[in-house]
A = this chain, B = another copy of it.
């Protein structure tokens, strides 16, 4: 056999990328083999190389795509004119929802940085801190206007993002709380802490 009936390159490429996401999320990048990936797509191992330069380049593409679209989507939603409290609540809501809906992307972006070649890693790291600046700016504005008391911006931003991203690792669609409820709890925690 050779070319199969009804085969379309663009579709195969899409299938490869989404199968890769699924497998890397479940097993990790190093543990996923190209043979598993090919099998998941329903194709021979060698055929993957029509759409992917190498295994490393595949990981790079996945991570980059995720970071770019994360940044873009927040930029689309952000209301820079709003007061800092509203903006912070909006950021919390956006981050949690976006990440829950793209669990595989997030898991990959957060667990597989080590597997990325050095050439690519710096680029992803840059994009990540580019996203984090959005949160730092909100906090900084809040401190300026007096809405928030003085706080170490860098640490607070790291802490908040870690907390929000963490949702991905325990959230279950059939869990006790809805996404909206989870967002509410986190908004309260971020703004007021446990003491209230």
B155 contacts A31, C-beta separation under 8 Å: no
The A171-196 residues at the B interface (CB cut-off 8 A) are: 176-177, 181-182, 185-186, 188-196
Chain B residues with CB under 8 A of A182: 155
Chain A's interface: helix, strand, loop or mixed, by majority?
helix
Q: Copies per complex?
A: 2
Q: How many residues of A contact B (CB 8 A)?
A: 46
What residues make up the interface of A, taking CB atoms closer than 8 Å to B? 26-28, 30-31, 85, 88, 111, 114-115, 139, 142, 147-149, 151-152, 154-156, 158-163, 165-167, 169-170, 176-177, 181-182, 185-186, 188-196
Task: Compute how far the CA of A193 lies from the CA of B148 in the bound complex, rounded to whole angstroms.
Answer: 9
The 5 lowest CB-CB distance pairs between A and B, nearest first, are A162-B166, A30-B30, A193-B193, A149-B196, A163-B163
Q: Which residue from B27, B28, B158, B193 sits with its C-beta under 8 Å from A191?
A: B193
| Cβ-closest chain B residue relative to A165 | B162
Q: Which residue from B114, B148, B161, B181 sits with its C-beta under 8 Å from A28?
A: B114
Report the minimum CB–CB distance from A184 to chain B (whole Å): 9
